Structure 1
Amino acid sequence: MTISARATPPRIGLTGGIGSGKSTVAAIWRDAGHRVIDLDAHSRAVLDTPGDGVEEAVTRFGERFRTSGGIIDRAALAALVFADDEARADLEAIVLSRVDRAVAAEEREAAAAGEALVVHDSPLLLEKDRGLDYAAVVAVLARWEDRIHRVVRDRGKDRAYVESIMAAQVTDLERIRRADRLVLNTTDRGTLAQRARHALAVLVDAL
Structure 2
Amino acid sequence: MPALTCPPRLGLTGGIGSGKSTVAEIWRRAGHRVIDLDAHSRRVLDVPGDGVEEAVARFGEEFRNPEGTIDRAALALLVFADATARAALERIVLARVDVAVAREEEAAAQAGERVIIHDSPLLLEQEQESGYRSVIAVLARREDRITRVIRDRGKDRAYVESIMAVQVTDLERIRRADRLVLNTGDRETLTARALRALEAVLADLEDSALR
Q: TM-score, normalization: structure 2?
A: 0.91
Q: Deviations over 1:2-25 (max 9, x none)?
A: xx9811111110011111111100
Aligned partners of 1:55 and 1:45: how far apart in 2?
A: 13
Structure 1 residues 28 and 5: alpha-carbon distance in aligned structure 2, compared to 1, 3 A threshold: farther
Question: SS of 2:135's equivalent?
Answer: strand
Q: Give the alignment partner of residue 21 of structure 2, picking from 20, 23, 27.
A: 23
Q: Give the alignment partner of residue 74 of structure 2, picking from 73, 76, 80.
A: 76
Q: Deviations over 1:96-141 (max 9, x none)?
A: 1001111111101100111011110011111111111100000011
Aligned residue type for 1:144? R
2:178 corresponds to: 180
Give 1:61 deviation, angstroms: 2.5
Aligned partners of 1:83 and 1:145: how far apart in 2?
A: 22
Structure 2 gap ranges (5+):
206-211
1:119 corresponds to: 117
2:107 corresponds to: 109
Aligned residue type for 1:46? V
Aligned partners of 1:175 and 1:87: how far apart in 2?
A: 25
Aligned partners of 1:44 and 1:98: how far apart in 2?
A: 11
Which moved further from structure 2: 78-87 or 165-174?
78-87
Give 1:84 deviation, angstroms: 3.8
Question: SS of 2:117's equivalent?
Answer: strand
Percentage identity across paired residues of the two chains: 73
2:5 corresponds to: 7
Give 1:87 deviation, angstroms: 2.9
1:202 equivalent in alignment to 2:200: yes
1:157 corresponds to: 155
Aligned partners of 1:139 and 1:121: how far apart in 2?
A: 10
2:209 corresponds to: none
CA RMSD of aligned residues (A): 1.6
Aligned residue type for 2:154? G
Give 1:83 deviation, angstroms: 4.1
**Would the aligned equivalents of 1:5 and 1:113 in 2 still touch at CA under 8 Å?**
no
1:128 corresponds to: 126
2:164 corresponds to: 166
Question: SS of 2:172's equivalent?
Answer: helix
Aligned residue type for 1:25? V
Structure 1 gap ranges (5+):
none
- Matched pairs, number: 204
**Would the aligned equivalents of 1:5 and 1:112 in 2 still touch at CA under 8 Å?**
no
Structure 1 residues 65 and 26: alpha-carbon distance in aligned structure 2, compared to 1, 3 A threshold: same
